[in-house]
Chains A and B, each alone.
Chain A
């Protein structure tokens, strides 16, 4: 019986591989482009907001104000790009997206300080990008206060006392000490790419046969629907595993992203999620009749949820409760917890078994419904 299945499957797998081979451009894209994406993402994206374009409006124009502003010119958090002579100019720069932050020194800055009174500086930030704006405010206030603190301790030094900072602040960051965004994004990217490729490839390869009418030919052959499904999905299972391996190798070589935990566990997770993705693709192929619709449904049911709902970029815990519940639909959410756990924290199966169970249930449900619908059609 066992030999029977393999014998029946072989020709379909071979046929599917041949079709893939006949189109080397597609195969190349399936393997090379994920790798290219990793390089692009690892190299281009950084969460640490730096180089915020800054405009300076110095109304005081004194030695004191210049000494203070020097701090803003030296830091890499801000790029001093413009000097404004009026609020109107600052506003224009903000409106044209040329500057995102401004430091405004009041006319009385130096005189207040010399008279021993507190001086204030205005920090204006373009709030339309809430995330960057929050960080810009953080950097600017911190720099101002640190400068002020140092001003005082320097005054002490002149009186023969040791200058000091009252609190030295030592952050200890686990698992990703330099907060590298590639270490955070690459595990997510594996899931993103593998799910996308799996869903889209399977749904299209089945619908293609439907569109061309060759599905009927296969259906009248002695092959059982299960054989057809296996034959169609196994090649893509291979390709997905290969693409994932390529991502891991590049992540390790170029971005120092190591797998701390068990590689076997990692591959078990990748294998499970690919199965789920293939099942999802199969299901889509049974409810659509054209490649165009299949492609659209695939993109909307896999690309956007994997990107936005899974915690890949945006933290799930910040979403409204309804959406946190809904986010469970995105199987990538669970995959991400497993992969980040295994790759970055080095956790074992006992820490992520719940996620595994969910992924397996997802894969089984998708495959079961997909197969059932396919079998029904063939009868």
Chain B
């Protein structure tokens, strides 16, 4: 046991020498996460701002103006252009000068007063499907609320007494202002941590293989698990430094509210980087060249993880089969942990399944790497 520790220490020393000699690598692994989180924390926003609207009011009555006012008062839309005929609306949408167009038909007020259905049109540019979808939700909501009040008004007039309505009272928990940065910044933090830790280790063993130094290590009495631990620990230290940097950025620069426990946050972050470092090592044992290792990391890990972890696309929205696949993605659990601790003040009571999943994955991945490595040695 003691001897094993000494061996691990020696390998660590060697790795540290290598890291120190390769100053660029050290700079990249510390400065890059800082810069990336700083920039991309701002970039990843799903807030729809500055939505300009072009209006074509063919009715020009008190009613139609009231209806348009519902749109401008909602806070979602800024009425920037007014045109007279429906075809004039098209160039505004086509050249993206307006995100949405509202066309009110002639006879809007007449139909409303004579209790006939009147047809209002909105025009959206669907090429940006996400924005169009959100704008459509807002617009439909405004129309529904207007309809409700129109009907209630007339119904009251007919019945001679007030007709009851059901009024929705929305209340948003955990992030009352619906700031997307509170959701996205922890996501960017997790993403950057994953990428840095996996790239650090994914080339670690392949490199020795390619350079032929692995054979030299094999003839020494070093055991596989000693080699793996010796390689892993220095990278874990760099990874931990990155954890501190990026979490501090999220809390103090982006002012993401941190409601939960700080030690728990750090503890589970360490658990996460152990899994990703382990995954990197595992890639390193299955790849034949550094190029292969990087292709595997990029296509089998980074891309699917980014798309399927719930970073930007809600998991509940995916087909059932894919939802099962997401259980294999450590980033998914870490995102739930980060967002839970930051925004909801969740503790181990709520987060133990995610913590267990990360722990299990870490153990499995590291064991498999050691075993694969052992087999290769014999």
Contacts and interface: CB of A to CB of B under 8 A. Distances in A.
Interface of A: 23, 25-26, 29-30, 33-34, 36-37, 40-41, 43-53, 68, 79, 94-97, 100, 112-113, 115-135, 137-142, 144-149, 151-153, 155-156, 159, 161-162, 164-177, 179-181, 183-184, 196, 200-201, 204-205, 208, 211, 288-293, 295-297, 299-300, 303-304, 307-309, 313-315, 317-320, 322-323, 326-327, 340, 344-345
A60 to B, nearest CB: 12
B180 A131 contact: yes
Contact of A25 (B46, B131, B173, B292): B292
A47 B131 CA distance: 9
Q: What are the nearest 3 A-B pairs in CB distance?
A: A176-B126, A127-B175, A184-B129
Nearest to A94: B173
A51 B317 contact: yes
A323 B48 contact: no
B170 A174 contact: no
A157 to B, nearest CB: 12
B134 A134 contact: yes
B1 interface: no
Nearest to A119: B166
B90 to A, nearest CB: 9
A319 B43 contact: yes
Interface string B160-195: 011111111111111110111011000010011001
A57 to B, nearest CB: 13
Contact of A170 (B49, B121, B152, B165): B121
B126 A26 contact: no
Nearest to A193: B303
17 contacts: A26-B289, A94-B173, A97-B350, A113-B166, A121-B166, A130-B183, A134-B137, A139-B137, A145-B166, A146-B144, A152-B165, A156-B158, A165-B117, A166-B118, A166-B147, A288-B24, A296-B25
B60 interface: no
A26 B144 contact: no
Nearest to A92: B350
Contacts of A41: 307
A111 B49 CA distance: 42
Contact of A171 (B117, B122, B179): B122
Given A166-B117, A175-B125, A204 B170 contact: no
A185 to B, nearest CB: 8
B302 to A, nearest CB: 7
Interface of B: 22, 24-25, 28-29, 32, 36, 39-40, 42-50, 93-94, 112, 115-134, 136-141, 143-148, 150-152, 155, 158-159, 161-176, 178-180, 182-183, 188, 191-192, 195-196, 199-200, 203, 207, 211, 288-292, 294-296, 298-300, 302-304, 306-308, 312-314, 316-319, 322, 336, 339-340, 343-344, 346, 350
A314 B173 contact: no
A196 B298 contact: yes
Contact of A137 (B46, B172, B191): B172
Given A137-B170, A169-B140, A314 B36 contact: no
Given A51-B317, A175-B125, 17 more contacts: A23-B292, A47-B133, A68-B166, A121-B166, A123-B169, A125-B171, A140-B168, A166-B147, A169-B122, A170-B122, A172-B121, A174-B124, A174-B125, A299-B302, A318-B50, A319-B43, A320-B42
B292 to A, nearest CB: 5
Contact of B166 (A29, A147, A164): A147
A327 B40 CA distance: 10
A184 B130 contact: yes
A138 B43 contact: no
Contact of A44 (B178, B288, B319): B319
A322 B39 CA distance: 10
Contact of B127 (A126, A175, A205): A175
Nearest to B23: A293
A289 B18 CA distance: 13
B43 A141 contact: no
Contacts of B94: 174, 345
Contacts of A319: 42-43, 45
Contact of B295 (A29, A95, A147): A29
B199 to A, nearest CB: 5
A295 B39 contact: no
A95 B319 contact: no
Contact of A293 (B25, B127, B137, B314): B25
Contacts of B40: 304, 308-309
A62 to B, nearest CB: 13
Given A123-B170, A296-B196, A318-B49, A128 B180 contact: no
A96 B348 CA distance: 11
Nearest to B295: A29
B49 to A, nearest CB: 5
A153 B151 contact: yes
B148 A145 contact: yes
Contacts of B211: 211
A126 B28 contact: no
Q: Kindly name the residue among A49, A117, A167, A291 whose own CB sees the greatest number of chain B CB atoms within 10 A.
A: A167
A309 B322 CA distance: 27
A200 B168 contact: no
B344 A94 contact: yes
B28 A313 contact: no
A248 to B, nearest CB: 17
A314 B129 CA distance: 11
A134 B178 contact: yes
B184 to A, nearest CB: 8
Contacts of A169: 120, 122, 139-140, 143
B126 A179 contact: yes
A148 B316 contact: no
A239 B8 CA distance: 43
